[in-house]
Amino acid sequence: YQRRVREAVVSTQSTGSSGINAEYGVRGTVRHSFSPTCWLEPGLTLGHSPMVSINGFSRLTNFLFCSVHGELIQPNPEIISYDAGMTVGCNLTDGTILKTEFTLDKTVKTSISRVLLNCNIDASYTLGLETQRLSLQLLKPIMVGGKAKDMFIEASINYDVFDGPEVEYGCSKALTDFSRLSAVLKLGLYSGVKLHLVLTRGRHSYTFDILFSDIVEPVAVVYGTTFPLFVYSALHYLVIKPYLNKKRAEDTAAKAEELSAWLETQREEARGAITLMKESYHKIVNIEQGKGGLIVMQAWYGVFGSANKLIDVTIPLQCLVHSSRLILPDSTKVGMLGFYDMSYGEQKKLSVKYSFRNVMHEVIINDEDALRIPRQSHKIAGS
């Protein structure tokens, strides 16, 4: 829950878990903005582990920024722990950020992040009393047809002086608008082969850790790589895909029901427009016939495979013929004169069978494709 009060944003959040280490809590924060580039956010958590926190951010210059955080937490009645830190960052170039973080446990972490066109690269070095760690991470979206899909591949190589080398790789995929599944396989010299699964639904996260082997073995790596693929395939084809198809069909039916009156009006307007076009249609046909030009013999628009979802658009298309040429833009044809939507939400096509210089041609295009006729490639073989 969030509510904006003048220059402050008040938010609350409740959390809970069950099991042996059950936890619960209610957290509230108040963010006060001193300026568009500076804010301070104190917070209070009540429940299993009470905590007082404070976070702040300030952009010092166009390239330099700074953030601070502090926490005072009581995990049990006998212990009170605290943590604090400060991060200083700099925008080196467009898409490149250098950050250095200082914490009270005498740990310094320096990282540089680079956002490229089709991937993100992050390198960091952590130096502290109890750790020295070097890490290189890669995050790459899956590209399909030149467009990024809501699926990411992630991989990292880490080296810790005390824990040894570690390799991680995996992917995350949006299942629905509110849920995401991620799977990461971790290979460590001392940690073995472990699969980390996280299912996020809204603000709730469900974590599953599966240990395949205490040491790095090829068989364990193969099982750890193929197991999440099998789980995702099973979920996708048995649960997710049927659910999305059902939801899409319900949404389409509900929307079509809402638009039924509007669609009926569009149908009557299209029929009226075609009636008015008939005189022009006959004139254009006679002109084109006299010079062996372009004559639309038959044209259908709608969802093919269903006769009651097709409309005859022969007359509207013939009336658009000028100098034996017909050109339609690369956009939906629903708004054209004499056209209307017979099947809301479904993929429609346009089929045109025409004669040019007494030779038969035929073409079928998707609703949002451009059309230019006549074309030699449309010629029907043997005609």
Residue 4 pLDDT: 47
Residue 12 pLDDT: 52
pLDDT, mean over the chain: 85
Residue 195 pLDDT: 92
pLDDT(243) > 90:
no
Neighbours of 303 (CB within 10 A): 16
**Reduced to 3 DSSP states, what percent helix, strand and coil does the chain have, rounded to the nearest 5?**
20, 55, 25
pLDDT-derived band at 56 (thresholds 50, 70, 90) equals very high
H/E stretch holding 76 reads: strand 64-76
**In 3-state terms, what secondary structure has residue 197?**
strand
pLDDT-derived band at 306 (thresholds 50, 70, 90) equals low
User: Cα 164–165–166 angle (5° rounding)?
Assistant: 120
Residue 35 pLDDT: 87
Structure-block tokens of residue 283: 């004139």
Residue 5 pLDDT: 44
H/E stretch holding 244 reads: helix 241-258
Residue 98 pLDDT: 94
- The Cα–Cα gap between 98 and 109 comes to 11
pLDDT(301) > 80:
yes
pLDDT(10) > 60:
no
Residue 7 pLDDT: 46
What percent of the chain clears pLDDT 70, i.e. is strictly above it? Answer: 90
**Backbone phi, psi, residue 100, to 5°:** -130, 125
Residue 13 pLDDT: 52
Residue 315 pLDDT: 94
Which residues, at least 6 apart from 34, have a Cβ–Cβ distance to it below 8 Å?
7, 40
Residue 326 pLDDT: 93
Q: Which of 46-50, 73-77, 304-308 has the lowest mean pLDDT?
A: 304-308
Query: What would the pLDDT profile of 106-147 be if each residue is shown by its tens digit?
Result: 889 999 999 887 889 999 999 987 788 999 999 988 866 555
Query: What would the pLDDT profile of 163-198 be if each residue is shown by its tens digit?
Result: 889 999 999 888 777 888 889 999 998 889 999 988
What average pLDDT does range 29-52 have in this prediction? 86
Residue 370 pLDDT: 92
Q: What is the pTM of this model?
A: 0.53
pLDDT(1) > 60:
no
pLDDT(97) > 90:
yes
Residue 206 pLDDT: 85
Give which of 82, 42, 90 is closest to 66, Cα–Cα: 90
